[in-house]
Amino acid sequence: MSKPAARLTVTPALAQRMLDGRVPSRSPSARMIDHLAAKLKDGGWHPEAAVITTLPDGRVLNGQNVLEAIMQYGKAAEVTIEVAPVEPVGLHGRA
């Protein structure tokens, strides 16, 4: 179970720093990034739906498309952050 979610305002610079230290995962979706950036621009953004999950050490586990969209938008945006309690089994080849 994740720790309770909290709101955080993420600037494009913070989004980049978070992505730089993220856990390797699948490639970002250009289509989803464009969709999310459009929501930011047209006022349809819902922070409760923009969830970023991190590990306790701060590495991003889920939410790279949200972070990429904030960078594309070029302005700060509010997101929901949740912290996974432990590193998932099998991450980085560990069992």
Topology annotation, domain 6-86 = 3.90.1530
Cα–Cα separations (whole angstroms), residue 69 to 1, 10, 94: 27, 11, 31
Instruction: Name the pTM for this structure.
Output: 0.85
- Could you report the per-residue pLDDT of 14-36, keeping only the tens digit for each? 999 999 988 888 899 999 999 99
Q: Where are the domains of the chain?
A: 6-86
Q: Which residues of the chain fall short of a pLDDT of 70? A: 1-4, 87-95
